[in-house]
Amino acid sequence: MKTNTQDAQAMTMDADVMAVARSAFQHARAGDALILARLVEAGLPANLANEKGDTLLMLASYHGHADATRVLLEHQADPEKANDRGQTPLAGAAFKGDVTIARLLLDHGARVDGVAPDGKTALMFAAMFDRLEVLELLLSRGAAPERTDAGNRTALDYARAMGARRTTERLAELRKTNGQQRA
Protein backbone atom coordinates (compact mmCIF):
# COMPACT_ATOMS: atom_id res chain seq x y z
CA MET A 1 0.00 0.00 0.00
CA LYS A 2 1.34 3.41 -0.98
CA THR A 3 1.71 6.09 1.58
CA ASN A 4 0.94 9.75 1.03
CA THR A 5 4.71 10.37 0.98
CA GLN A 6 5.20 7.81 -1.80
CA ASP A 7 2.35 9.37 -3.82
CA ALA A 8 3.87 12.82 -3.39
CA GLN A 9 7.30 11.53 -4.45
CA ALA A 10 5.81 9.88 -7.54
CA MET A 11 4.00 13.09 -8.48
CA THR A 12 7.20 15.10 -8.02
CA MET A 13 9.13 12.62 -10.13
CA ASP A 14 6.48 12.76 -12.90
CA ALA A 15 6.64 16.56 -12.90
CA ASP A 16 10.44 16.44 -13.07
CA VAL A 17 10.33 14.00 -15.99
CA MET A 18 7.86 16.23 -17.84
CA ALA A 19 10.08 19.27 -17.22
CA VAL A 20 13.09 17.44 -18.68
CA ALA A 21 11.05 16.39 -21.71
CA ARG A 22 9.79 19.97 -22.30
CA SER A 23 13.35 21.19 -21.95
CA ALA A 24 14.58 18.62 -24.49
CA PHE A 25 12.08 19.83 -27.09
CA GLN A 26 13.20 23.43 -26.51
CA HIS A 27 16.82 22.39 -26.96
CA ALA A 28 15.95 20.54 -30.19
CA ARG A 29 14.17 23.61 -31.60
CA ALA A 30 17.11 25.81 -30.58
CA GLY A 31 19.70 23.37 -31.92
CA ASP A 32 21.58 22.89 -28.66
CA ALA A 33 23.52 19.79 -29.68
CA LEU A 34 25.66 19.59 -26.54
CA ILE A 35 22.71 19.54 -24.15
CA LEU A 36 20.77 17.11 -26.37
CA ALA A 37 23.79 14.78 -26.38
CA ARG A 38 23.95 14.92 -22.58
CA LEU A 39 20.24 14.26 -22.23
CA VAL A 40 20.18 11.20 -24.50
CA GLU A 41 23.39 9.87 -22.97
CA ALA A 42 21.68 10.19 -19.57
CA GLY A 43 18.80 8.04 -20.79
CA LEU A 44 16.33 10.35 -22.50
CA PRO A 45 14.88 8.42 -25.47
CA ALA A 46 16.33 9.73 -28.74
CA ASN A 47 12.90 9.15 -30.35
CA LEU A 48 10.95 11.09 -27.73
CA ALA A 49 7.90 12.69 -29.35
CA ASN A 50 5.65 15.53 -28.25
CA GLU A 51 1.85 15.68 -28.30
CA LYS A 52 1.90 16.26 -32.10
CA GLY A 53 4.15 13.29 -32.72
CA ASP A 54 7.12 15.51 -33.55
CA THR A 55 10.33 13.86 -32.38
CA LEU A 56 13.41 15.65 -31.17
CA LEU A 57 14.93 14.81 -34.56
CA MET A 58 11.95 16.26 -36.46
CA LEU A 59 12.26 19.53 -34.55
CA ALA A 60 16.05 19.83 -34.81
CA SER A 61 16.08 18.97 -38.51
CA TYR A 62 13.07 21.11 -39.42
CA HIS A 63 14.70 24.13 -37.81
CA GLY A 64 17.92 23.49 -39.74
CA HIS A 65 20.19 22.56 -36.85
CA ALA A 66 22.77 20.25 -38.44
CA ASP A 67 24.82 19.58 -35.29
CA ALA A 68 21.75 18.75 -33.20
CA THR A 69 20.40 16.58 -36.02
CA ARG A 70 23.72 14.74 -36.25
CA VAL A 71 23.85 14.17 -32.48
CA LEU A 72 20.37 12.70 -32.42
CA LEU A 73 21.05 10.48 -35.43
CA GLU A 74 24.29 9.26 -33.85
CA HIS A 75 22.23 8.34 -30.77
CA GLN A 76 19.89 6.19 -32.89
CA ALA A 77 17.06 8.65 -33.50
CA ASP A 78 14.89 7.14 -36.23
CA PRO A 79 15.00 9.26 -39.42
CA GLU A 80 11.85 7.51 -40.64
CA LYS A 81 9.66 8.29 -37.63
CA ALA A 82 6.77 10.36 -38.91
CA ASN A 83 4.72 12.78 -36.87
CA ASP A 84 0.96 12.57 -36.41
CA ARG A 85 0.44 14.21 -39.83
CA GLY A 86 2.57 11.54 -41.52
CA GLN A 87 5.47 13.91 -42.17
CA THR A 88 9.04 12.62 -41.91
CA PRO A 89 12.15 14.66 -41.17
CA LEU A 90 13.27 14.20 -44.80
CA ALA A 91 9.99 15.60 -46.11
CA GLY A 92 10.46 18.56 -43.76
CA ALA A 93 13.99 19.14 -45.05
CA ALA A 94 12.70 18.98 -48.63
CA PHE A 95 9.94 21.48 -47.82
CA LYS A 96 12.47 23.85 -46.24
CA GLY A 97 15.04 23.32 -49.00
CA ASP A 98 17.76 22.30 -46.56
CA VAL A 99 20.31 20.22 -48.48
CA THR A 100 22.62 19.77 -45.48
CA ILE A 101 19.86 18.32 -43.31
CA ALA A 102 18.52 16.17 -46.16
CA ARG A 103 22.00 14.75 -46.75
CA LEU A 104 22.47 14.00 -43.03
CA LEU A 105 19.14 12.20 -42.87
CA LEU A 106 19.86 10.16 -45.99
CA ASP A 107 23.33 9.29 -44.72
CA HIS A 108 21.74 7.96 -41.53
CA GLY A 109 19.09 5.75 -43.06
CA ALA A 110 16.21 7.95 -44.22
CA ARG A 111 14.58 6.26 -47.20
CA VAL A 112 14.86 8.47 -50.27
CA ASP A 113 11.42 7.38 -51.46
CA GLY A 114 9.75 7.02 -48.08
CA VAL A 115 6.08 7.95 -48.28
CA ALA A 116 3.52 9.63 -46.09
CA PRO A 117 0.09 8.01 -45.68
CA ASP A 118 -1.07 10.06 -48.68
CA GLY A 119 1.81 8.68 -50.76
CA LYS A 120 3.79 11.93 -50.97
CA THR A 121 7.55 11.62 -51.08
CA ALA A 122 10.28 14.09 -50.17
CA LEU A 123 10.89 14.52 -53.91
CA MET A 124 7.31 15.72 -54.32
CA PHE A 125 7.80 18.31 -51.58
CA ALA A 126 11.07 19.48 -53.12
CA ALA A 127 9.37 19.74 -56.52
CA MET A 128 6.32 21.51 -55.15
CA PHE A 129 8.29 24.26 -53.44
CA ASP A 130 10.92 24.65 -56.18
CA ARG A 131 13.76 23.30 -54.01
CA LEU A 132 16.01 22.37 -56.92
CA GLU A 133 19.11 21.62 -54.84
CA VAL A 134 17.24 19.17 -52.63
CA LEU A 135 15.52 17.69 -55.67
CA GLU A 136 18.92 17.05 -57.28
CA LEU A 137 20.23 15.43 -54.08
CA LEU A 138 17.20 13.15 -53.86
CA LEU A 139 17.49 12.20 -57.53
CA SER A 140 21.21 11.45 -57.08
CA ARG A 141 20.30 9.14 -54.19
CA GLY A 142 17.79 7.20 -56.27
CA ALA A 143 14.46 8.98 -55.81
CA ALA A 144 11.96 7.83 -58.42
CA PRO A 145 10.43 10.85 -60.19
CA GLU A 146 7.75 8.65 -61.78
CA ARG A 147 6.40 7.54 -58.39
CA THR A 148 2.80 8.60 -57.77
CA ASP A 149 0.94 9.51 -54.61
CA ALA A 150 -2.54 8.36 -53.55
CA GLY A 151 -4.05 10.82 -56.06
CA ASN A 152 -1.87 9.47 -58.89
CA ARG A 153 0.23 12.67 -59.00
CA THR A 154 3.99 12.73 -59.62
CA ALA A 155 6.62 15.21 -58.49
CA LEU A 156 6.32 16.87 -61.91
CA ASP A 157 2.57 17.21 -61.48
CA TYR A 158 3.13 18.97 -58.14
CA ALA A 159 5.83 21.24 -59.54
CA ARG A 160 3.56 22.30 -62.41
CA ALA A 161 0.55 22.82 -60.13
CA MET A 162 2.56 25.06 -57.79
CA GLY A 163 4.23 27.02 -60.57
CA ALA A 164 7.66 25.81 -59.47
CA ARG A 165 9.63 26.81 -62.55
CA ARG A 166 13.07 25.29 -61.86
CA THR A 167 11.88 21.91 -60.65
CA THR A 168 9.27 21.72 -63.41
CA GLU A 169 11.98 22.29 -66.01
CA ARG A 170 14.32 19.74 -64.42
CA LEU A 171 11.70 17.02 -64.03
CA ALA A 172 10.30 17.60 -67.54
CA GLU A 173 13.84 17.35 -68.93
CA LEU A 174 14.42 14.15 -66.96
CA ARG A 175 11.14 12.66 -68.20
CA LYS A 176 12.04 13.52 -71.80
CA THR A 177 15.54 12.04 -71.39
CA ASN A 178 14.11 8.85 -69.92
CA GLY A 179 11.56 8.58 -72.74
CA GLN A 180 8.55 9.05 -70.49
CA GLN A 181 5.80 10.87 -72.29
CA ARG A 182 3.16 11.71 -69.73
CA ALA A 183 1.23 14.95 -70.11
- Topology (CATH level 3) of domain 1-83: 1.25.40
| 112-183 carries CATH number 1.25.40.20 | yes
- Mean pLDDT, the chain, as a whole number? 91
Q: Give the separation between CA 79 and CA 109, rounded to whole angstroms.
A: 7
Task: Tell me, yes or no, if the two domains 1-83 and 112-183 fold the same way.
Answer: yes
* pLDDT at residue 1 greater than cutoff 90: no
Question: pLDDT tens-digit profile of 119-135?
Answer: 999 999 999 999 999 99
Q: Give the separation between CA 9 and CA 13, rounded to whole angstroms.
A: 6
The full set of domain ranges for the chain reads 1-83, 112-183
pTM of this structure: 0.87
The residue type found at 52 is K
Q: Give the separation between CA 70 and CA 132, rounded to whole angstroms.
A: 23
What is the phi-psi region of residue 78: left when phi exceeds 0, alpha when psi lies from -120 to 50, beta otherwise?
Answer: beta
